[in-house]
Amino acid sequence: MIDSSFLIRTLQRPPLTGAHALLFGLAAVAAPTLIHGAVVGNGVALAFIVYVPSVVLAAVFMRSWHAALLAFACAAAGDWFFLEQHDQVTFSASDLVGVPVFLFSSALILLVVRAVKSLLHVAFSPNAAPSKVIFSEEKGHAWAHWHGDRPSLPLGPHDEVADMMEDYIAQVELGNRLTGQKRKSRRAQR
């Protein structure tokens, strides 16, 4: 099982740029090409499927346009090394179907990863959290809402959440009494 905090940190990290992006791109095209050539040899069986992990990793670690260029490079490598006959450029049914399907699939991968990254940015960015949280109850479950584009967050069954909130308030009050600090109520400030 993948640790979700690792996945969140990975998707939130800045994209590779410059030489790192170039090296990643070269490795992401070369590795599947070498693996496919060693295992399958020439043929259409796995001409493009071996490049899908490279496109997914590129979508996660690179800028979108770098990942798109990598997808085109993978399509070209798969076509050249595994579909062309005797290193001559030909246009077969495999070319006319395989390349567009691979590129379309790659575009979908890039769009999904970009959407997930955007969602994570909106949901977990420190700047995205406004100061006010609005709590609500729907069908017996408590929810936290924020103004703006940040998605609502389910908190759990209403009764359990209410008990946890009461416990939290009691802990804050106890902590204030023990440290001798007087904390103004937010309601009193309004």
Q: Which helix (H) or strand (E) is 36 found in, with range? A: helix 18-39
- Please identify which residue in the block is written with the tokens 């496919």: 36
Note the pLDDT of residue 110: 93
| pLDDT > 70 fraction of the chain, expressed in percent and rounded | 70
Show the CA angle centred on residue 29, arms to residues 48 and 21, nearest 5°: 135
CA distance 121 to 101: 30
Mark 66-76 as b/e (b = at least 16 C-beta within 10 Å).
bbbebbebbbe
pLDDT at 107 over 80: yes
Q: Which residue has the higher pLDDT, 28 or 85?
A: 28
User: What value does the mean pLDDT take over residues 51-55?
Assistant: 92
Q: Which residue has the higher pLDDT, 62 or 37?
A: 62
pLDDT at 12 over 90: no
Mean pLDDT of the chain: 79
